[in-house]
Structure formats: C-alpha cells, structure tokens
A and B are shown apart, each in its own frame.
Chain A
Amino acid sequence: MRFYPQGYGSRETGLNGERGNDNVFASQRGTRKLNIMKRRRFLNLLLTLLGLTTVGSIVYPLGRFLAPPGEKGKSKQVSLKRSEIPAGEAKDIPFAGMPAMVINLPGRGFVAFSRVCSHLGCLVDYDKVRNRIFCPCHAAVFDLEGNVVTGPPPKPLQKLPLRVEGESIVIG
C-alpha cells in the first residue's frame, strides 16, 4: 500500500491506475469529495430558495405600492336635491367619512365645507344670524369663504368641490 499524503490528487483511481477501493486514502478522498459536493448542492438549493423568497417579498409589496389605489382611493360623490336646503339654511351631510355641511347662501348659491374645525377638530356650525361659521369650542369664527376671521385655527376651513346640476347638488 502506498502512502499518499492527504489532499494529493483528486481522482478516484490512484495515479498508477490502482483502483479506488484498493486504497484507503483514495476512498477517503472520494467520500470527502462527495460530501463537499453534497454540501455545495444543499447550500445552493437553500440559497436559491431564500433568494426567491426575498425576491417575492420585494416584488409583491412593490407591485401593491405602485398599483393605482382601489375603490377607497376615489372619494365617493354625494348628491342631494336643491329643495332639501331652503335659502339661508345649512344641511349636515357625511362626506368621505367626515362630517360636512352644505349652505344655501342667499344671493351667492350653494357652498360646501368640511365641518371639522382646523384648530382641534370640533364640529363647526353655520350661524345664519351673523352670517358666519362658528366653532363652539374656542370661539373660532370663519367667514363664508372658509377663511379664519378670529380665533385659534391656523388654517382655513376645508372647502369641498360642489357643482349644481339641474335640480341636484353634487359634492366631490
């Protein structure tokens, strides 16, 4: 039996043609080589799986991120009849999940606002006696354009798009 130092040669048969199973070291080398191959294959498989999972976990969210918003993205329009709001009166309507109001201003037509005060969120009311919009929480006064006249609100009242189509008023 010849002595082959470990790691020398990488063939299953010895350099002089001995068969693998004649040589303990050759078969040891063979097993080692097989183990390395198995290990490599397993790791490659594992990494491919993990890699694909990563790609999937990026592609799916990216797709949802880029896609146009669903039904919820478009605000639903609200419509009501002109006759529901007598002149000088206001009507509360829900719009896009927030309280809103439509005012029939004498001589100026219809106008719609969000009722959420831009200060801390209290609901404002139309004061037809003094021709203004008033918040009962901290006495904020808005004019009929929604601008702040006096009080703590930092921004004007949110005005909602409104158009009159024949006998109906459409908001949104």
Chain B
Amino acid sequence: MDNEMWAKIKNWLEIRIGLTELIQTQLTEYRVPKNINLFYTLGFVALVFFVLQVVTGFFLLFYYIPHSETAFRSVQEIMSTVPYGWLVRQMHVVGSTLMFVCVFLHFIAVLFMGGYKKPRELTWVVGTFMFFVTVVFCLSGYLLPWSQMSYWATTIATTMPTAFPYIGDMVGNLMKGSPQVSGLTLNRFFALHVTLLPLILVILIGLHLFLVRRIGISSPPFGNVEEAERSWTEYHHVSHPNGHPFYPDFVLKEVVMLMIFFAVMFFIISFLPTLLLPEESNIAADPFKTPAHIKPEWYFLAPYQMLKIIPNKFLGISLQIILSLLFILWPFLDTKEEVNILKRPRLLAFFVLGIFLWVVFTIWGKVS
C-alpha cells in the first residue's frame, strides 16, 4: 500500500472518528509510571490467553460432539485424524493452564504492590470475580473430553459442595443435573463453558479494563514513587505526565512477556505433551470403574487437600468460604495507606506464608 493511499484512508477515518486524537490520547500520549515493571504486563498476557482460548475453543467446536456417547471419540478423532487437530487441542489445554498461571501471578503482583488499595478496591473485587469465573471455566471444560480423568475429577468436584448442611445435596444435584455425573452433566457444563461463561467474563473484562483506565494506572511502590495517591476525597484521574508513553514503550514490554508465555506453551506442547494429559485422559469414562488414584486438576489440589485434613465436612467447606471471602474483600480488610510492602514486614510475612501454604497443599494433594 503506497503512502498516498494510506494517508487517504487515515484522513477518511480522521474526519469521522478523530483518529489522530484517539491515537494520541490512548496510545502515544497515554503515559504509564516511570518505574513500571514487567509484572504490569501480566494482565494483558492473561487477556491474550483468554482470546486464544476462545479462538482454539471455537475451532474445536467444529469437530467436538458434546454427547456422552460420542464426546470421547470425537476428541480422539481431533487428536489423531483431523489435520493439526492435535495442535489446536494442545493449545487449548496448555493454554488454559498457562492462563490460570498468568492470572494467578497477576493476582500476586497486584497483592504485593498494593494495587488494590483506595481508590482501586472495585477493580480488585471485579478481578476476584473474574478469577472465580476462570475457575468455573476450568471445571466445566475439564469434563468435556469425557475421559476417566474428566469423569472422576468432576465427580469429586461436584461432591465437595454436598458437605454443606441442608442445601449441600441440592447444590450438588443442580450442578450435576442427575444424582451421578452423567450425560446431563456434560450437556449443562458444555452450555456453561461455551455460552454463558464467555459472556460473563467478557463483561467483567470490559468492566475491569474500564476501571483501570478510568481511575488511572497505579505506580509500583518501589523505586521512585512519583505521586501521593492518598487522601482521596474526590475523583481525579491518576496520570503520569513524566512517565513512559504507553505506545511503543510499554506495548513492547507487553509483547515481550507474551512471546515468553507463548514460548513456554510450545515448549510444553513439544517436550511435555503428556504433562496435562496423563494416561487416564486417554481412557473413555467408565461410571463403574474408579481409577486407582483420582485427583482433581492441579489448581483444585490445594482446596481438596485442605478438605481432606479437616475431618469435619462442614468446617472444611466453611473454611473454604471464609478464605474466599477474605480474598474478595481484602481491600476492605487492609486499609492501611502504606503501599510499599517492604515497609510492612508482618503483612509481607502473612502473604508469603499464605502463598507458601497454598504451594505446600498443592504438592501434598498431588503426592498423597
């Protein structure tokens, strides 16, 4: 395309939508804090991975048949007969784990850098809901291949709520659509996974991004902290006039992080293809035969192990609820104004302990 043609197109857009001003305010003159670090790119990477999931998921829909009698076979056909079907499926499987990892790292980064503090409490709360939607995505998607691993891991996951008194069984049955996991469960998980959840997550993403842009990006509390974001009594947009331009500086950083995550994804697909697809995932679901060591998927190992060690079922579930509430309402529990976590050793210790415990429980859940 030659320059004249390009200029003509740009002008056509300019008179209609004010393209130049748009580029200036949203890209080149939109500034991010001078001391911004690589962790700030994780949100973008999570978004791209979500888009990847939607795209690979969409293409998988061309060949996947969501019925208990044909689901397993259709997935095996995708893996062996359809040209490059294995690539699409592997990208969906590995991509989902990496998306979860990315979202988790993003959460830890925001936690450690105090990005949830006033005025950003709402952004955090919306983020926690996005996290829970991601978890439900993973749970519902896991059942769809209808393998032994799918069937039994889902059986455990849908039985965990039955620990609740009175409403527990009802919740479990609502999730399953039948007393045991069956074709009805498959159908409703499929409906959730493919229509309702993407819609909800897209809305939440829109809200989350709106809040981030409307309030303004926070500065990392380390290094030269530019402005004081305290004593909020009326709205003002947080800007960084001495910061780096979003485009191209920060965009390049985001792309680098994205490339690294993609490289990791393809590393796993090439050299560890069975990491997330162990032998049970290649055996069709058999409701009458429980495999020797069923475990939920790795991101559920910590809550599962926690449930196991607390002998009282109700207490076990309540603990999970309390921890979830702690997670959602954290900005309202930690209202101290100090943003730099290095200046709050006890809180730092609390965070580190929490994460350490989660890792320990996950590993324990895996080996026990």
Contact = CB atoms under 8 A, between A and B. Distances in A.
User: Does A touch B (CB under 8 Å) in the complex?
Assistant: yes
A61 B83 CA distance: 7
Interface in A60-88: 61-62, 64-67
Interface in B42-68: 59, 62
Nearest to B63: A65
User: Which of B82, B83, B88 is most buried by chain A, counting CB atoms within 10 A of its CB?
Assistant: B83
Contacts of B87: 61
B255 to A, nearest CB: 9
Interface string B130-152: 00000000000000000000000
A38 B59 CA distance: 41
B85 interface: yes
Interface size class of B (residues with CB under 8 A): under 10
B84 interface: yes
Contacts of B59: 62, 65-66
A135 to B, nearest CB: 21
A160 to B, nearest CB: 17
Contacts of A67: 83
A114 to B, nearest CB: 15
17 contacts: A61-B83, A61-B84, A61-B87, A62-B59, A62-B84, A64-B83, A64-B84, A65-B59, A65-B62, A65-B82, A65-B83, A65-B84, A65-B85, A65-B88, A66-B59, A66-B62, A67-B83
B73 to A, nearest CB: 12
A94 B282 CA distance: 28
A129 to B, nearest CB: 34
A61 to B, nearest CB: 4
Contacts of B85: 65
Contacts of A65: 59, 62, 82-85, 88
B62 to A, nearest CB: 7
Nearest to A47: B255
A62 B85 CA distance: 9
A67 B59 CA distance: 12
Interface string A31-67: 0000000000000000000000000000001101111
B85 to A, nearest CB: 6
Nearest to B288: A154
A65 B58 CA distance: 12
A65 B60 CA distance: 10
Nearest to A154: B286
A72 to B, nearest CB: 9
Interface in B1-30: none
A33 to B, nearest CB: 18
Nearest to B91: A58
A65 B87 CA distance: 10
Contacts of B88: 65
Contacts of A61: 83-84, 87
A67 B63 CA distance: 12
Nearest to A64: B83
Contacts of A64: 83-84
A62 B88 CA distance: 9
A161 to B, nearest CB: 17
Interface string A16-30: 000000000000000
Given A61-B84, A65-B83, A67-B83, 11 more contacts: A61-B87, A62-B59, A62-B84, A64-B84, A65-B59, A65-B62, A65-B82, A65-B84, A65-B85, A65-B88, A66-B62
A64 B59 CA distance: 12
A131 to B, nearest CB: 29
Interface string B76-87: 000000111101
B183 to A, nearest CB: 15
Contacts of B84: 61-62, 64-65
Contacts of B82: 65
B107 to A, nearest CB: 29
A67 B83 CA distance: 9
A102 to B, nearest CB: 25
A171 to B, nearest CB: 22
Interface string B82-109: 1111011000000000000000000000
Contacts of A62: 59, 84
A132 to B, nearest CB: 25
B261 to A, nearest CB: 14
A49 B14 CA distance: 31
